Each structure stands twice: as structure tokens, then as C-alpha cells.
């Protein structure tokens, strides 16, 4: 095979993902860096980011001292949008960046309606709102929270504006808009709407195979006391126990702020992505829609890599492990086994999944380019 042809095929292979859309693999390798970092602790992550993208972080820090940006997070449900925003905030500080979740804001107003109705925000919302249904009707929809009737986008935008006005010029990761295809064009003018006029803005689009979403739901367990969420296969706690009666292994919550409890699966989670298939389809549509937009820069994140290339671009500790357990009858102890998790991406290619920190490394590198630092 000629070199040209081989390179051409490699190129195609490198970019092939999410059925037709191109997401580059951004390597995190640093020449000569052999150290293994503990990505589960804040201190380990701090050292890791410093070693992998310390230079970019320095420049970004300077930028964030005097400027702000607006990033629109786009990814299928359960793709880890919140996790990436949280890690970014961990690096740059809560005084610099805010993860603005549209769903959380709407839920919050709904849950605390009585106090909201008596606040200045309520008056301000009434002033700001303009749309095709009356303000009263929009409020009714909000309080009824029927999942069938959608809140008017104009109403959601007014709520967001009020929320963002209080952030005192922090950079923003907006999560949850656009949520419908007809909302995509709003994101083109969003920075004007919220008075971040001179800000650079960009889409951050996450590519995640459905197999990953499926297993994240299927093996999810939650602490009944503190609601901490973990995964029996992909994200375990430090304490695993064995139920001799049922022959089942279970995670014990190790949140330091929690007294600890047996973590349980939620009803229906065993069916995986099936119940959210429509939502995933819609998310897919919106991402394709945004892909075809011009003028707004795009940061493209993939949380998976073809297995045959994983070691070339990433270090082993950056790959999502898969855990399994064995019970030692004699010692009455649970043994934890660990290996890189292999699954098929949406094109049927054997792939490894990346832990969140290496994806954030890719985000920082691309953000550095987008901002021309």
C-alpha cells in the first residue's frame, strides 16, 4: 500500500465517529512525561493538569482575570457536560466560571415558587418577558410543569438573563440551550441577549457513544442518604461489600460528609437508554444542526478513542477502567479487579472510553486556540 493511501486511510479512521460528524482525537501525551497521576483526587488532578496543559492554563488564567467568554455546552443526555464544566471550574476557580444549567434554574424557580413570587426577580421577569403567550400563561406552564407543554423559549431566556445578571461578569458554560432544534438560532445571539456583547463565544460539542450512556445508566447506583451517584461497573467507591444472602456485590457510599449507606440502583435504570431514546435522537439532531453553523467557533470533544490507537494518544491511567469483583470466602473480603473498559462506538469500532480529565485537557487546548491566546 502506498504511503499516501495509508495516510489517507488513517486520516479517515482518526476522524470517523458519531455517524458522519468529524471529531478529532487530541492527544494528551507530553514527551518524556512518565509520571502516573491520581485522577480521583483534587490534588492529583491539579498536578495532572499542570503537567499536561500548565502553559495553556497560565495564559487562560491571565485572560480570565480581565475577560469572560460564553460557551454553549452541547452533548447528549448523560454525556458529562456538568462534569467537564465542574473540572474546568476546579482549575480556574468559582469566582471566574459558572456552570449555568437551564434545567436547574427552571426547577429551582418551580420548587421555591412562593419566595420567587415575592421577590424582585418576579417583577423583573414580568418586565423582561415578551412572547406569544401571556406572562400568566407562561407561569402556569412553569408551575404545571407538564412535560408535554414546553416552556416558551422567550420565557426561559428572560429567566436566564435574570440569573446571569447576578454572576458579575463570570465566564459561562451554558448547559441546556439549545434544547430544541428551533432554539439553535437563539444561541447565535445569546451573548447579545445577556449583555456579554464583546465576549468570545463558542460551542463545546461532546461526542459520546450510546454504549457509554447506556452503561452509565444501567449500572448507576445512588446513596439513599446523600444522593451521591456512582456506577457499579465504571465508577466505584472505596468500599465494596458482599451480600452473602443474595450473592450480590454492592457499593457503600464513601462521601466524607455522609454517614455511609448501601448504594442502590434506581427503578427502571436496568433498561438503560431505552426510555430516553427520543431525547437522544433530538440531541443528535441539534448537534448536527449546530455542526452546519458558520461564524461561531466549535470546540469538539470526544470521550472515546479507537482501542488500537488508545496507547498512542493517551496514557493508560486516562482510560476509563471497568471494575469487577470476586469474593474471597476464606478472608471474607471483596477483591476488586480492574482493566480498561472496551465498548463499541456508534460505528461499531472497538473503543476505550476516556476519564473526564483528559477530555478537559482537550477542551483547554482548543479553548486556548479559539481565544487566540
Choices 22-30, 159-167, 258-266, 342-350; region in contact with Zn ion by CB under 5 A: 258-266
| Residue 252 touches Zn ion, criterion: CB under 5 A | no
Binding string, 55-74, against Zn ion, x = CB under 5 A? Answer: --------------------
| Residue 223 touches Zn ion, criterion: CB under 5 A | yes
For 83, residues 6+ apart whose C-beta sits below 8 A from its C-beta are 356
Cβ-based nearer residue to Zn ion, 31 or 259:
259
Q: Which of 128, 167, 226, 356 binds Zn ion (CB under 5 A)?
A: 226
Cβ-based nearer residue to Zn ion, 221 or 367:
221
Pairing of strands 16-17, 21-22: antiparallel
Cβ-based nearer residue to Zn ion, 52 or 230:
230
- Could you give the residue ranges of the DSSP H alpha helices within 198-276? 210-218
How many other β-carbons are positioned within 10 Å of the β-carbon of residue 132? 9
Choices 254-262, 281-289, 299-307, 308-316; region in contact with Zn ion by CB under 5 A: 254-262
The minimum distance between CB 230 and Zn ion, in angstroms, equals 10
| Residue 253 touches Zn ion, criterion: CB under 5 A | yes
State the cell numbers at 322. Answer: 471497568
| Residue 255 touches Zn ion, criterion: CB under 5 A | yes
For 59, residues 6+ apart whose C-beta sits below 8 A from its C-beta are 368, 373
State the cell numbers at 8. Answer: 489517507
Q: Which of 137, 258, 280, 371 binds Zn ion (CB under 5 A)?
A: 258
Please provide residue 50's backbone torsions phi and psi, each rounded to the nearest 5 degrees. -60, -45
Cβ-based nearer residue to Zn ion, 223 or 276:
223
Give the distance from CA 120 to its chain's centroid: 32
CA-to-CA distance for 367 and 171, rounded, in angstroms?
Answer: 13
Cβ-based nearer residue to Zn ion, 153 or 228:
228
CA-to-CA distance for 255 and 228, rounded, in angstroms?
Answer: 7
| Residue 218 touches Zn ion, criterion: CB under 5 A | no
Instruction: Specify whether the CB–CB gap between 345 and 211 falls below 8 A.
Output: yes
The minimum distance between CB 265 and Zn ion, in angstroms, equals 15
What residues pair up with 230 in beta bridges, in sequence order? 221
Cβ-based nearer residue to Zn ion, 153 or 255:
255
Q: Which of 292, 299, 298, 282 is nearest to 185 (CA)?
A: 292
What residues pair up with 324 in beta bridges, in sequence order? 337
Choices 1-9, 42-50, 216-224, 238-246; region in contact with Zn ion by CB under 5 A: 216-224
| Residue 356 touches Zn ion, criterion: CB under 5 A | no
CA-to-CA distance for 74 and 201, rounded, in angstroms?
Answer: 13
Pairing of strands 321-328, 239-243: unpaired
Q: Which of 218, 225, 233, 365 binds Zn ion (CB under 5 A)?
A: 225
Cβ-based nearer residue to Zn ion, 96 or 220:
220
Cβ-based nearer residue to Zn ion, 27 or 228:
228
Choices 118-126, 191-199, 230-238, 247-255; region in contact with Zn ion by CB under 5 A: 247-255
Note the residues at the interface with Zn ion (CB under 5 A).
223, 225-226, 228, 253, 255, 258
Amino acid at each position: 500500500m502506498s504511503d499516501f493511501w495509508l495516510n489517507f486511510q488513517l486520516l479517515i479512521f482518526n476522524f470517523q465517529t458519531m455517524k458522519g460528524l468529524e471529531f478529532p482525537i487530541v492527544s494528551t501525551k507530553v514527551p518524556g512525561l512518565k509520571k502516573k497521576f491520581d485522577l480521583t483526587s483534587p490534588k492529583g488532578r491539579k498536578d495532572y493538569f499542570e503537567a499536561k496543559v500548565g502553559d495553556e492554563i497560565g495564559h487562560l488564567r491571565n485572560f480570565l482575570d480581565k475577560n469572560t467568554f460564553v460557551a454553549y455546552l452541547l452533548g447528549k443526555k448523560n454525556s458529562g457536560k456538568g462534569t467537564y464544566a465542574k473540572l474546568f471550574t476546579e482549575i480556574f476557580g468559582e469566582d471566574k466560571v459558572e456552570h449555568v444549567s437551564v434545567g436547574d434554574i427552571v426547577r429551582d424557580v418551580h420548587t421555591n415558587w412562593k419566595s420567587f413570587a415575592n421577590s424582585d426577580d418576579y417583577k423583573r421577569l414580568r418586565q423582561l418577558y415578551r412572547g406569544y403567550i401571556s406572562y400568566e400563561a407562561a407561569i402556569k406552564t412553569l408551575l404545571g410543569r407538564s412535560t408535554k407543554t414546553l416552556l416558551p423559549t422567550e420565557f426561559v431566556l428572560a429567566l436566564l438573563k435574570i440569573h446571569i445578571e447576578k454572576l458579575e461578569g463570570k465566564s459561562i458554560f451554558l448547559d441546556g440551550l439549545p434544547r430544541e432544534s428551533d432554539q439553535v438560532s437563539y444561541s447565535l445571539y445569546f451573548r447579545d441577549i445577556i449583555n456579554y456583547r464583546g465576549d468570545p463565544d463558542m460551542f463545546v460539542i461532546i461526542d459520546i457513544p450510546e454504549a457509554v450512556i447506556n452503561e452509565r445508566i444501567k449500572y448507576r447506583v445512588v446513596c439513599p442518604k446523600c444522593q451521591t451517584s456512582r456506577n457499579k461497573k465504571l465508577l466505584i467507591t472505596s468500599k465494596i461489600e458482599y451480600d452473602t444472602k443474595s450473592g450480590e456485590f454492592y457499593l457503600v457510599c464513601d462521601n466524607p460528609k455522609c454517614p455511609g449507606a448501601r448504594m442502590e440502583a434506581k427503578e427502571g435504570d436496568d433498561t438503560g437508554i431505552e426510555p430516553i431514546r427520543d431525547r437522544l435522537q433530538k440531541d443528535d439532531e441539534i448537534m448536527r444542526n449546530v455542526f452546519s453553523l458558520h461564524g461561531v467557533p466549535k470546540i469538539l470533544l470526544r470521550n472515546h478513542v479507537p482501542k488500537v490507537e488508545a496507547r498512542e494518544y493517551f496514557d493508560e491511567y486516562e482510560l476509563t477502567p471497568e471494575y469487577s469483583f470476586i469474593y474471597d470466602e476464606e478472608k471474607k473480603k471483596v477483591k476488586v479487579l480492574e482493566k480498561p473498559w472496551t465498548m463499541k462506538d456508534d460505528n461499531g469500532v472497538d473503543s476505550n472510553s476516556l476519564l473526564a480529565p483528559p477530555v478537559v485537557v482537550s477542551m483547554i487546548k482548543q479553548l486556548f486556540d479559539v481565544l487566540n491566546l
